[in-house]
Structure 1
Amino acid sequence: MNKTAKVVITVMIILSNLICTNMVIADDTNDDGPITKDIIKNESWEATGTQLPRVSAGAAIVMDAKSGRVLYEKNGYKRNSIASTTKIMTAIVAIENGKDDEDVIVSKRAASIGGSRVNLKEGKIYKLGNLLNAMMLRSGNDAAIAIAEHIGGSVEAFAEMMNRKAAQIGATNTNFVTPHGLDDPQHYSTPFDLAMITQYALKNEKFCKIVSTKSSSFEGNPINNTNEMLSLYPGADGVKTGYTGQAGRCLVTSATHNGWKVISVVLNCSTRSVRAQNSKILLDYAFGNYSTYDYLKQGQQISEIGIHKGLNNSVGLCSDKDVSIPLKKDEADRIKAEYDIPKTLEAPIQKGSRIGTVKYVLDGKVLAYADIKATDNIKRKDFYYYFDRIFKTWARLVHER
């Protein structure tokens, strides 16, 4: 082989490695430098006032974790590659269908996957709970495949479970092909769908505990959470990072201030520092411009309604759930409650039966709604009731004579 041929082959090998690396890299396997608090603190961004946040992320959203109200979005409903933020869905499906102490046998497919990994050994047995931590903290792709094969029987079957769950949640512009999120043209979601999936997942205590953990250990080795916001942003308590060549730097963050939790999503950022800065901008905008207004408490009586032919003349009405809405001050002045309930009801009435609805409307848009239910059982006046009334009236008249 001549010298020219050797050079060509060497160049081809290098290019091939670069291309393959770009295809499989996930999260911090190709870190672009450390992030310090100064990187976030020193950036000057508009966080309050009427000006909307300025973010360089290709797509972004910030959402109230309770009501699901979108407070800001940029290309929030556009399909994107989502890298390892995929693992949010992987984790919640595994948590709902498995137990921490279950034994998971690692396949060759899991052990040989590229990108970020925790170096699982083919044929070795691990506990499901430990794999979940390794997947969500260190973003182990090998752990994701091992979990998927254990829960679903195969990666493909588990992806179907993920898609069914997405549809159930209402994330209808999402399609999962893998449990790890390495680039695939048929694997995508949107900032809005990712926020909805996260909103659902955060209702699970085990999920919350995992994604809020800064550091742990796996097989005797320390593992640190790839989510930089846990250390940089006050109140940050989740959720998941992501990175591939196609998706760019991605981050889903949850943060809680004064009992109010919001979710931010940034996709396709150029560096870790940029995704941290963009996430901070969105969170600052939410916490700096909105306050939560509590309108209804589940089960608390809010009014009464008259009953026709009932043993009681009226019955109490209550909401079937809490209603809290994040609003700007001027929005709170304009929001209206629209009740749809009848003027009277016909007995009998069963406790908990749906009587009507209430909607909270801002500028023609429904921000929240609740069913209105009866607080008590109300029996109907029947033949025996009227007979008893006649008998008692007759007895009283006889006694008076």
Structure 2
Amino acid sequence: MLAAVLFLPVGAGAVSARRAYAVDAVSGRVLYEKNPTERSLIASTTKIMTALIVCEQCNVLDRMRIPKEAVGIEGSSMYLKEGEVLTLQELLYGLMLSSGNDAAVALAIYCGGTVEGFAELMNDKAHNLGLTGTHFENPNGLDSPGHYSTAKDLGTLAAYAMENPIFYKTVSAKNVKVGDRYLTNHNKLLWRVAGADGVKTGFTKAAGRILVSSATRDGRRIIAVTIDDPSDWSDHAALMEEGFSRYAIGRIVNQGDRVGTVEVVGGEKRRVEVLAAEDFDYSVAPEEHPCLALPGPGFIYAPAVEGADAGVVYVLIEGKAVGKVPVVYGATIEQTQPEEKSFWKKLFHRGSG
């Protein structure tokens, strides 16, 4: 793949990030990418994984007493005090709205036993999600050579995390009160972009400005990621507007649609229909015309059984495969039976031999 591939018609210079990625989270269509698999420091966007682990593996209604190890952590903070008692949900707000490095350590200790143990949980989850360009060493994103991710991996992670209702509730909140603390979300897009509902900001001098965002309109969700981007707020707003206005999710294939036929060698009939086994939706621009292509040699050997697995059909846009749909045979085609010779034909055949 080329180092930078542009899909949206916004011009290569319109996004100032060194690395970027935008995807329609519903259809999976990549809307924009620029050095999407280049590894980078990711600063506090690390906390997307931290929050996800807590949401999936711990009870957020649990209350914990803040240990001294979670107090006075460098960088952004929700200013925890040793001995105070908070719920995990309150710590999640401090983690994702105030970007509290102290909240990250507190949650890591509670859910993972130690910071190192929690990092192992983070890496296990990254592996399970197929985030091959990602490795974690801490729960808060403080710079470390072995702590990195990619724009594409962060987009995949965010799309998955936004499906978790506790995570969604946390990152979509604009303001919350935690004890005597009033927390305001650092994500300015929640106020600036229609439908914005997540997810996380990040910054260190070494990493630059990093932003992972989400917006949902009419049942569609777009996830955008920029890394090392001095104009991240405007870039994300532009990516969201282009993605929602230019592309619309459409039904490409309905379950039961005839997607082609294949030859049946040795069958009672010469061809059998192939039908889509499920629906397929995809984000499509007005000028695009998806088409279908059945792979393989174009024939099968009898018999064919109605409803049996027939492989897949590929969905193509401008000659590029953008998805695949399982297909089944639309009818049963029995194998032809060999002709039974009469007694006289057998006798004649024997005598002439």
Normalised by the length of structure 1, the TM-score is 0.71
The CA distance in 2 between the partners of 1:84 and 1:234, in whole Å, is 24
Find 2:16's aligned residue among 46, 56, 72: 56
The share of aligned pairs that are identical, in percent, is 37
CA distance in 1, matches of 2:36, 2:294: 31
Structure 2 residue 24 is the aligned partner of structure 1 residue 69: no
Equivalent residues in 2 for 1:195-274, closer than 5 Å: 195-270=155-230, 274=231
C-alpha distance in structure 1 between counterparts of 2:176 and 2:305, whole Å = 58
Q: Secondary structure at the match of 1:356?
A: strand
CA distance in 2, matches of 1:225, 1:198: 17
- 1:39 corresponds in structure 2 to none
Can you list the C-alpha shifts for 1:46-74, whole angstroms capped at 9, x where unaligned?
x9857456122222121111233221122
Distance 1:220 1:145 in 2: 21
Look up the match of 1:357. Answer: 312
SS at match of 1:172: coil
Separation of aligned partners in 1, 2:85 and 2:239 = 42
Alignment match, 2:101: 141
Q: Supply the AA of the counterpart residue of 1:277.
A: S
C-alpha spacing 1:49/1:159, structure 2 compared with 1 (3 Å):
closer
Identify which range, 150-159 or 49-58, moves more after superposition: 49-58
- Match of 1:329, SS state, is coil
List alignment gaps of at least 5 residues for structure 2.
1-6, 335-353
Contact 1:68/1:199, CA 8 A, preserved across alignment: no
Q: Deviations over 1:341-377 (max 9, x none)?
A: 987985887x8x74422221234432112323689xx
Residues 133-172 of structure 1: CA deviation (Å, up to 9, x unaligned): 2211111111111111111111111111111111211110
> Do the aligned residues in 2 keep the contact of 1:68 with 1:196 (CA within 8 Å)?
no
Are the equivalent residues in 2 in contact too, given 1:63–1:70 (CA < 8 A)? yes
May I ask how many residue pairs the two structures share in their alignment?
Answer: 318
Looking at structure 1, the residues matched to 174 and 146 of structure 2 have their Cα atoms a distance apart, in angstroms, of 32
Q: Which has the higher helix share?
A: 1
Distance 1:124 1:345 in 2: 73
Residue identity matched to 1:99: N
TM-score normalised by length of structure 2: 0.79
Matched residue, 2:70: 110
Map of 2:277 onto structure 1: 319
Structure 1's 260 and 283: CA in aligned 2 closer, same or farther, altered over 3 A? Answer: same
Measure the CA separation in 2 of the matches of 1:347 and 1:328: 38
For 1:279, which of 236, 239, 253 is the aligned residue? 236
Q: Pick closer, same or farther for the CA change 1:160–1:50 going to 2, 3 Å.
A: closer
Distance 2:222 2:316 in 1: 21
Contact 1:135–1:141, Cα closer than 8 Å, also in 2: yes
The one of 74, 81, 85 equivalent to 1:121 is 81
- 2:256 pairs with one of 268, 292, 301: 301
Query: Which residue is equivalent to 1:290?
Result: 247
CA contact (8 A) 2:8 2:31 kept: no
Q: Which amino acid aligns with 1:327?
A: V
1:332-343 equivalence runs, <5 A: 332-333=288-289, 335-339=290-294
Offset of residue 88 of structure 1: 0.8
C-alpha spacing 1:302/1:319, structure 2 compared with 1 (3 Å): same
2:327 corresponds in structure 1 to: 372
AA matched with 1:202: M
Matching of residue 90 in structure 1 with residue 78 in structure 2: no
| Structure 2 letter corresponding to 1:257 | R
Q: Which residue of 1 aligns with 2:285?
A: 328
- Is the contact between residue 77 and residue 101 of structure 2 (CA under 8 Å) also seen in structure 1? yes
